[in-house]
Amino acid sequence: MTKKDTDCRCPVCFFDQSQLLVLVRSIPIYQCQHCQIGYLDKRGLKKQRKLKSNTFYDFSQYLIQEERLRRRFRKIISLVKKINQNGQVLDVGAGFGLLARELYLHGYQVTAVEPKSRLEYLKGLKVKIFRTSLENFSKKDNYQVIFLIDVLEHFSNLNKALAKIKDLLADGGVVVIQTPNYRSLMTRICRNWSWWFIEEHKLFFNPISLAFLLKKNSFEVIHLETYEDLFEFKKNFDGNFASIKSSWLRKILKLVVYSFFFPCYLVFRPILYRLGFGGLILILAKK
């Protein structure tokens, strides 16, 4: 189905032809026919404002995932270290501050921008903290690297946000972006992919749309990969069995599926990632 509607223009390339990508909790997500970005139209954004998310800013929930997230952040930092050893860096949407803490411990001079969450991990550290949004942040410090980890999908005006990032970056500086991948294997085989997260997310990316967005804003993509961790994959996959009421039938089905499917998944995972089907996209782009 193709929709041509000026109220439903793509927020990145302004093309007016889109198709329905998916319906999540009765909110339609459209896919731009030109740049492939997924987005909510005006009616969808209105409906979204009525939804509430309870766990997103809950520190006790975050603590359960701490070790897993720390490992992921350390991998990202080891990648960034190859480009920049110890410069000024900016963490936009720092959340509880775990990435900013890791950056600090790895020798960077860190500035954290966070409008909502308490920066629990930054207590007692020499990290500059600004309790504001990217939009209202204006401290110029010649940042060598700017991190947007699980942030981009929350923005309403993406071109404006990237223009701001560009302005804050030093010449030759690098922006590091991680965002969910709607073209992932997870999205295709899990009934309720948790990263649609329609209560908060306004934009949805695949590797092509993200690379397009960066090129359109005159960044040079220098690294692109997709990945996910096993815990996230299993948690999403388990959701497929939730509607089976009989507990013994659920257990048998799970046993059968897990014994056949999971070994194959584990063997072919690196190939899936290389083909761009991992659940998360990580991209590094140079100003």
- According to the binding rule CB under 5 A, does residue 10 interact with Zn ion? yes
| CA-based torsion, 109, 136, 149, 167: positive or negative | negative
- According to the binding rule CB under 5 A, does residue 34 interact with Zn ion? yes
**133-172: contacts with Zn ion (CB under 5 A):** none
DSSP state of 142: -
- What is the SS3 assignment for 239? helix
Task: Indicate the residue among 11 and 93 with the shorter CB distance to Zn ion.
Answer: 11
With contacts defined by CB under 5 A, name the span among 34-42, 108-116, 140-148, 179-187 that binds Zn ion: 34-42
* Minimum CB distance to Zn ion, residue 176 (Å): 23
Task: Indicate the residue among 28 and 115 with the shorter CB distance to Zn ion.
Answer: 28
Which residues contact residue 52 at a Cβ distance below 8 angstroms, ignoring those fewer than 6 apart? 199
- According to the binding rule CB under 5 A, does residue 210 interact with Zn ion? no
- Annotate 93-156 with DSSP letters as a single string: T-TTSHHHHHHHHTT-EEEEE-SSS--GGGTTS--EEE-S-TTT------EEEEEEET-GGG-S
Cα–Cα dist 198/24, whole Å:
7
* Minimum CB distance to Zn ion, residue 180 (Å): 18
* Minimum CB distance to Zn ion, residue 15 (Å): 5
Stated length of the chain:
287
* Minimum CB distance to Zn ion, residue 33 (Å): 8
* Minimum CB distance to Zn ion, residue 38 (Å): 10
- According to the binding rule CB under 5 A, does residue 216 interact with Zn ion? no
Task: Indicate the residue among 15 and 137 with the shorter CB distance to Zn ion.
Answer: 15
CA 56 to chain centre: 14
Nearest to 45 by CA among 201, 237, 193, 230: 201
Please select the residue that binds Zn ion; options are 8, 24, 29, 32, rule is CB under 5 A. Answer: 32
**100-129: contacts with Zn ion (CB under 5 A):** none
CA atoms within 13 A on the CB side of 97: 24
Please select the residue that binds Zn ion; options are 35, 94, 158, 185, rule is CB under 5 A. Answer: 35
Cα–Cα dist 8/18, whole Å:
8
Site string for Zn ion, 11-30 (x = CB under 5 A): -xx-x---------------
Q: How far is CA 272 from CA 155, 182, 275, in A?
A: 28, 14, 5
Task: Indicate the residue among 32 and 89 with the shorter CB distance to Zn ion.
Answer: 32
Q: Are 233 and 186 in contact (CB under 8 A)?
A: yes
* Minimum CB distance to Zn ion, residue 49 (Å): 23
* Minimum CB distance to Zn ion, residue 18 (Å): 8
- By the criterion CB under 5 A, which residues form the site for Zn ion? 10, 12-13, 15, 32, 34-35
